Structure 1
Amino acid sequence: MLTNIITKIVGSRNDRILKKLHKVVKQVNQLEADFEALSDAELKAKTVDFQQRVAAGESLDSILAEAFAVVREGSKRVFGMRHFDVQLLGGMVLNNNQIAEMRTGEGKTLTATLPAYLNALTGKGVHIITVNDYLAARDAEWNRELFEFLGLTVGLNVSGMDNMAKRDAYAADVTYGTNNEFGFDYLRDNMAFEPQQRVMRPLYYAVIDEVDSILIDEARTPLIISGPADNSSELYTKINTIIPLLEQQEKEDTEEYTGDGHFTVDEKNKQVLLTENGQIKVEEMLKERGLLSEEDNLFSAANISLLHHINAALRAHTLFEKDVDYIVSD
């Protein structure tokens, strides 16, 4: 009861947020007449002025009303379309890193130009993410004329592009693409051996279309990428000569018991474990064969691949039977 009374007096949290946003909408509307009087060159020069102010330390929030007014005026001249107040509200919500729900026909594509333009003024790049290549290409071409009219560059990132084309797309002020392509590019960049092999810039700001589909439905399918594997068949062959020289121990070492064997077998859990004697024996044989340096040990971080090969060979020799658990086919 008390909560309802307070809500009626001061409004709900949503009401208070909208009231604050409507004040900014009013500022944008008040600037409309002034910007209508500017020539095309003067309107385009506003972008350079904003970029300089942001570079000098002014916040994006402080120029938001002016920037949105510039985009609205640019859209009127390029498309003959004026951003409605509800679209200005949607643009502010997106700029605040929040979700804006808009009905079909309310102009989501045009709404996205507002926060995209504002955040592109930093020079750090803006990504506009859609669900498929068709929508990415369509929206990029549709909005390219507006962004270029205002002095910004537009890139398109779709599958099948080479590294140079992708790098050019990511270098643009606003880059359109699909969630999968952005995701795979991120994975590929993290697998690159040299900086020049990377295509993306540091991530800064993104607008996601159909956010429920991309962040919920599409997110159920993981993005998996693989790189070329080292040819380790030679190492397996060398390790294979070591395993037959090891002796099995009936039970694991404990504080009260230390066996003479080199490994124990847990058939229930399909595991084979080296004993302390086994670790010493394996390290000695690895050093004799030049696979391990004298001052090194099998369990150092640099030898994790070597330890994997030892464990795999132990399991192959003790747990798996040819033509029962596996088949070798020429």
Structure 2
Amino acid sequence: MQTRTLRATAPKPDYAHSPQHQAGRFRNKVPTPPTGLGKSLRLMWTFLFNKPRNTVPDVPLEVRPLTRADLLAAPDRSLFRLGHSTVLLKLKGSFWITDPVFAERASPVQWFGPKRFHAPPIALEDLPPLKGVLLSHNHYDHLDRATVRALAATTEHFIAPLGVGDTLVDWGVPAHKVQQLDWWQSAQVDGVRFTAAPSQHFSGRGLRDANATLWASWAIVDDDLRVFFSGDSGYFDGFKEIGERLGPFDLTLMETGAYDPQWPHVHMQPEQSLQAHLDVRGRWMLPIHNGTFDLALHPWFEPFERISALAAERGVPLATPVIGERLDLGQPHPGDAWWREAAVAG
């Protein structure tokens, strides 16, 4: 494993040195089949005109409001889920946030596209200054331009996969704050180590930039505490290698949502999410990538129900905090089945 200390570096427009880069594009370890124009058009038609009714809650979801004072007073090694894959971590007295999206819609425009089920538990401008932002890839539900631009002045570090950092710099983040990593490379900030690890996914924000930037999962290590952040991924044997090289993990933030049999190579079914958790040698599992945006064809509450049943069957400790609820990273708690009341009411 390669370890680097963060430092001011110029953006790297050429990533031919990366084993993941070929013919000008990044790729998965095992190539995934293309979707094809016909299938893409059929999926678009289904999303626009034939979606099941219960992919969106009919009633407001429970959210526990947070204030800056709440966060500053929280003990070290606290976690707050803010929605979708946005998680706030307090490590060594400083705040880190994963894939921050505070926009109303996960979309290139704010008048159309998947709309939030709930507001974030704290407004973007009320966040305390952040030590850093950790990014998994550049899709709109994980990388929000307005959020990044708002955080650029008050955040000390931005850690991202190869190419994603170039986008940040283009948006106005000072280059000396940005570190871009390939799989298995690490960055260390104030005693916390971040290691980029493989995932099986893809990237792109427009019609011409498919796979022009890398995607990654992350291992976060704070002394004896290890947290795994999956980003987005289909199930693949890379999870076992991650467990062997970087595990075990006290907690996994594991993608569990926006799945469908029609796109098995880029998002996991709940059974696969649980297996990925076991593969990386996780102890507690916190399912993310759910409960905020309408990005699939399954009922909005289904990921919680399926993963809860599977975890109980396999004896895996599962944490399902309410959006905004504090989770102790040292001693997680299961949380309540908060989604059921809204699901029944709808």
TM bin, normalised by shorter chain, reads under 0.3
TM value normalised by structure 2: 0.24
**Greater relative contact order: 1 or 2 (C-alpha under 8 angstroms, separation 6 or more)?**
2
TM value normalised by structure 1: 0.24
* Higher normalized strand content (fraction of residues): 2
